[in-house]
Amino acid sequence: MSNEELKRYSDDFLEYLLDVRGYSNITVETYEIALRQMSDVSHFYEEDGMKVLDITPFRFAIVKNSKKTIVKKLSAVRSFVKYLEEQCHLPVKLIADESIKVPQSLPKPIEEQYIEEVLAKADLEEKLLITMLYGLGLRISELSGLKLEEIKENWVQIQGKGNKVRELPLIPEIKRLLNVYGERYMPKKYLFEKGNAPMNAAQLRYKLTKCFKKKGLKVTPHQLRHSFATHLLNHGARIADVSELLGHETMATTQVYTKLGSVKKMQEYMKAHPLADGA
């Protein structure tokens, strides 16, 4: 289901509020502003026979609004979904609607520019290590055990937690690095090897932390995985797709990143806005 259809349903809903429910013009205009903003950036699609409305990008877009405004806009979206279900008989699964509590121990994502700066100075092995973790969202244990036979032309097959297998697309830059790395280092069985054995997670972690330390940054492999998810969502990726790429069992695990992104944007807003000086 396209966003054009979403907007059409939205228009029908506004007419329903005005003509059937008898809402005032001012109230309907308030709903219209919220729904237009939501429709412009959100993802409306069908999955397993169920209509899904993913408002993750919308949550990022309104993070600078006041708490009161955010509550009103989310209320408008919930009312719209209720209308679709009750009046149009169209069940909809709403994603990123709820408030998400983030564990205090969750690592902060790394700024995109810092990753780019470190990559610019890294050697070939370091570049591939960082790019595999950040470009694919891998766990360090998954990268340590990655065999050459699991790397196809455009896909890489990952053995995740609980022996669950997922396939991830290889972006052109990763494919290029893999080709150059293969020609220079000529690994035999595993992508990262030392002697005849795969480099273990501790060895790869040491190489990574050493690389970022040159830039004055303390970075862990798990932070790159968090950065992969956060940056994808910040740039408008669907939370369902990010969840699948990460190998999460449920999207609830992935939804912490929507909160992380919102908190970060609010912090930047409070730093940047002239009126926030005394806040």
Selection from 192, 257, 267, 259 nearest residue 230 by Cα: 257
The number of C-alpha atoms within 13 Å of 90 and in the hemisphere containing its C-beta is 18
Relative to beta strand 197-198, strand 193-194 is antiparallel
Annotation marks residue 36 as catalytic: no
Annotation marks residue 269 as catalytic: no
Annotation marks residue 64 as catalytic: no
Q: Which of 7, 222, 264, 265 is catalytic?
A: 222
Annotation marks residue 166 as catalytic: no
Selection from 78, 65, 64 nearest residue 35 by Cα: 78
Q: Which of 64, 93, 207, 248 is catalytic?
A: 248
Q: Which of 83, 134, 190, 257 is catalytic?
A: 257
Q: Which of 59, 225, 226, 231 is catalytic?
A: 225
Selection from 277, 252, 244, 235 nearest residue 109 by Cα: 235
Q: Which of 139, 226, 231, 238 is catalytic?
A: 139
Q: Which of 36, 108, 121, 161 is catalytic?
A: 161
Cβ atoms of 221 and 62 closer than 8 Å = no
Numbers of helices and strands, H then E, in the chain = 13, 7
Annotation marks residue 248 as catalytic: yes
Which amino acids are annotated catalytic?
Answer: 139, 161, 222, 225, 248, 257
